[in-house]
Amino acid sequence: MFVVESPALTAETLDPVASSRRPARFRRAGRLAVPYLYLAPALILLVVWIYRPLVQAVELSTYSWNLLPTAPMKPVGLGNYQRLLDLPAFWDSIGRTGVLIVGMLPFTVLLPLLIALASRRVHGRARTVYHAFVFAPFLVAPVAAAAVWRWLLHPGSGFIDQILRSDRNWVYDAQTAHEVIIGITGWQLLGFAVLVVWAGLAGISGEYDEAAMVDGASPSQIRRWITLPLLLPTLLFLVLTTVLLSPTLTFPLIDSMTQGGPAQSTTNIYYLLWDYAFHSFDAGLSAAAGVLLFAGFGVLAAILVWISEKVSFHDD
């Protein structure tokens, strides 16, 4: 006599509908997780290389340490910030950073706008050569550019001095050294800024110009009332880039040409915090300067982004 065993009663056998829903739920969760899996490597790198050092800088700013592994780190609380705010060199460097940013704006906003508008009249192969010629300085390494310009500005025998018939030491004169750094940095960034303006002009539909010409608008009126307002978000992006990157991009030139001198005339806030860390070996003071630099530029960036969003919203 054969005995037939009945299958075990489980939740799946009692409720087959629920068992069919479970794989569908897992598939849906898997589809939702796929974008985050693609973003995971970038997020991990962002945390490792950006946010973790930022947290460590904030922590280091509350200690007094001379960068020696055998030296103890003494907690000082907010003492480094107080000491930094009492230093005249700190406020002088902020003023020079402001002068640097203002001096860079003609090279990163005004001249690129004029060059990009003028290039619209260039056609064919000449346009390609024109673009390459404008963009070429951006490809030059800053250290190489510093060496060439120092030779060009050499007193007496330099090419610039021979043209101007001057024996002035442009690089090592406190009255001109900062202007030299601004000019060389602006010369290098000019091509990048022109490229950004070209991209902004390419995003403006030609239908606006055609409609304005049908209504009898002149080319100057089209540029004034159509092209420039539509290009305003691009120009604000260039202003934001200038504010955030100018102190950083001048560092190789300053370190190669002037080392912050003469008489600290080229020492901006970015070079100052590097000087505190690797010349004075005051890691806590340098970290405090870095934290204040991050907070200050973060506020400026937030204001400029808010203005850019408002302008873009009204344009839409």
Structure tokens at 203: 């995003």
Structure tokens at 73: 């780190």
Which residue did the predictor score with more confidence, 134 or 104?
A: 104
Q: What is the pLDDT of residues 208-225, one digit of tens each?
A: 777 888 778 787 887 888
What average pLDDT does the chain have? Answer: 83
Which residue did the predictor score with more confidence, 156 or 294?
A: 294
Rounded to whole angstroms, the Cα distance separating 285 from 79 reads 9
Q: How many C-beta atoms surround the C-beta of residue 87 within 10 A? A: 14
For 260-275, give one letter per residue: b (16+ CB within 10 A) or e.
bebebbbbbbbbbbbb
Residue 182 pLDDT > 90: yes
- Residue 168 gets which letter from DSSP? -
The separation between the first and the last C-alpha atoms of the chain, rounded to the nearest angstrom, is 85
- The pLDDT of residue 314 is 55
Task: Write the CB contacts of 60 (distance below 8 Å, at least 6 apart in sequence).
Answer: 283, 284, 287
Average pLDDT over residues 243-249: 85
Q: What percent of the chain has pLDDT over 90?
A: 21
Q: What is the identity of the amino acid at 10? A: T
Nearest CA to 237 out of 95, 98, 113 is that of 113
Residue 75: beta bridge partners? 63
Average pLDDT over residues 42-71: 89
Residue 137 pLDDT > 90: no
Rounded to whole angstroms, the Cα distance separating 145 from 214 reads 48
Residue 119 pLDDT > 70: yes
The overall pTM is greater than 0.85: no
Burial of 137 (0-12, 13-18, 19+ CB in 10 A): middle
Do the strands 74-75 and 63-64 form a parallel or antiparallel pair, or are they unpaired? antiparallel
Nearest CA to 209 out of 191, 188, 225 is that of 225
Angle, alpha carbons 276-281-283 (nearest 5°) = 70
DSSP states of 289-307: HHHHHHHHHHHHHHHHHHH
For 104-129, give one letter per residue: b (16+ CB within 10 A) or e.
bbebbbebbbebbeebeeeeeeeeee
- The pLDDT of residue 176 is 86
- The pLDDT of residue 1 is 46
Nearest CA to 236 out of 315, 310, 312, 308 is that of 308
Residue at token pair 């020492």: 267
